[in-house]
Amino acid sequence: MGTYTVQLSAPDGARLEAVFNAPSLPALEKRLRQQEYTLLRVLPPSADVTLRRASQRIREVEVVTVLHQLSASLKNGVSLQTALASIARDAGNPVLRAVLIDIESLVRSGDDLSSACAAYPALFPHLYVRMLEAGERGERLGPVLEQIAFLAEQSMQARQRITTALVYPATLCVFTMVVLLAVFTFTVPTFTSLFEELGVRSLPLATQSLLWLRNVGFPLLVFAAPLVALLFGFLARFVRIDGNRFGVWLRNRLPIVSAVYHELALMRLAGTLSAMAGSGVPILEALRLAGGSSESPALQGAMWTAIPLVAEGETLSAALARSGLLPATFCSQVAAAEAVGDLPAALRRLAVWHQGRVDYLASRMNALIEPVVVTILALGAGWVAVALFSPVLGIIRSLSGG
C-alpha cells in the first residue's frame, strides 16, 4: 500500500491537495474518477528537511557511483528495492547512506524511483527525474540509469579538467602572496632598520616603491580584497546583464575561457539530448529541458528557436540550423543521424568529441596562463631583490671608496 500526495480537481472545479493510501497509482486514479475527481499531478514526497540540507555534503562522484551501481544491479536482475538497500549498506558516507535508505523506504511504500529521487533536487535535478520517469514508463530503468550516469560523469570530468588547468596558476599566486607577506613582515623591516642605522638618506626608486607598497599598498590590498570578493559575490548572485548572471556574462567575454565553456556547453547539450532521446523523453520536452539546463545564452536561444519549429514538423537538424547559433558541423551530424535513425548514438559521439575539445582547450589555457604567471613572479622577485640590495651595494661602494 503506497502513500500518494496528489493535486486534484473537485467536481466544482476547485483545486485540492490531499494524501491517499492506495495499492497503486492507477488504482488511486480509478477511485478518484469514480468519485468525480480528476487527478492533476502526483507531488513528490517530501524528504526530511535536515536530511535534505545534509545531502548537499554528498559529492557528485558519489552520486555517479550510485547511478552506475544501481544500473548494473537492475541489468543483472536485482530488484530495485534490494539494489537500493545493498548500495546503502555499502555506502561509506553516512549522509549518502541515510538518503539511500530514505529513497528505498519510499520505493518500498509504493512510490516510483523518479518520485523518490525528486525529493532530493540537489542530488537529482529535474532533468534526471524526467529521464527516470520516461524509463519507468518504458520499463527501461536500467539503461536509463546508465545514460544518466554517463551524462553526469562526463560533465563532472569536464569540469574537473577545467579546474585542474587553473589549479597550478592559482597555487603559484597564493604562494606568492604568502612570500610577499613574509617579506613585508620580516625582511623589509630588517633592511629598513639597517638603512636607518647606516644613515642612508637617499634610497633608489625601486626601494622607495617597495617601502610604499609595504607601508601603504599591501595593507590597502589586504583591506580591499574581502570587499572586492563580497562585491563580486553580490554581482554573481543578484545582478543580471542581458538576462544572464554576472558570472556567466563575464566568463563568456574572457578569451580562451569563453571558448572552453562554449565547448563544455555543446558537450552537455549533445549528452543531454542523447540521454533523453535514448530514454524515450519526447523531443519537444527534451529541447525544453536541455535549454533550461544550459548556461550558454547562445544554446538557450537555439533551443527556444528550435522548439516551435520542431512542433510544426521540421526535423531537429533543420530547426537547430535555422537558429544560426550552433556550429554547422553539429547540425550536419545531427541531420545525418536523423536520416539513418541513429540520433541517440550520434549525439553521444558528438558529446564525446566535444569533451575532447574541452580537454584540448583546457590544456591550451593552462599552457598560456602558466608562463605568464611565472614571468610575473620572476619579475616581482627580481624587483624585490633589486629594491633590497641596491642600497646595500651603494653602501659597500661608498665604504670601499672611503
**How would DSSP label each residue in 138-202?**
TT-HHHHHHHHHHHHHHHHHHHHHHHHHHHHHHHHHHHHHHHHHHIIIIIHHHHHHHHHHTT---
Q: How confident is the model at residue 2 (pLDDT cuts 50, 70, 90)?
A: low
pLDDT, mean over the chain:
81
Write down the pTM of the prediction.
0.68
Q: Is the pLDDT of residue 205 over 50?
A: yes
Q: What is the pLDDT of residue 370?
A: 79
Do 49-124 and 158-402 show the same overall fold? yes
Q: What is the pLDDT of residue 1?
A: 47
Q: Per residue in 287-318, pLDDT tens? A: 888 888 787 778 888 888 888 988 888 888 88
Question: Which homologous superfamily is 49-124 in?
Answer: Type II secretion system (T2SS), domain F (1.20.81.30)
**Least trusted range by pLDDT, from 227-241, 272-286, 338-352, 356-370:** 227-241
Q: Per residue in 144-164, pLDDT tens? A: 888 888 888 888 888 888 888
Output the CA–CA distances (angstroms, integers) from residue 334 to 193, 283, 339, 353, 400, in the order listed. Answer: 72, 13, 9, 14, 81
Q: 83, 104 in Cβ contact below 8 A?
A: no
Mean pLDDT of 43-54: 58
Question: Any idea where the domains of the chain sit in the sequence?
Answer: 2-43, 49-124, 158-402
What are the two backbone dihedrals, phi and then psi, of residue 8, each rounded to the nearest 5 degrees?
-140, 165
Q: What is the pLDDT of residue 54?
A: 61
Q: What is the pLDDT of residue 52?
A: 57
DSSP 8-state assignment for residue 57: G
Axis-axis angle for helices 80-90, 94-108 (nearest 10): 160
Question: Domain 158-402 class?
Answer: mainly alpha
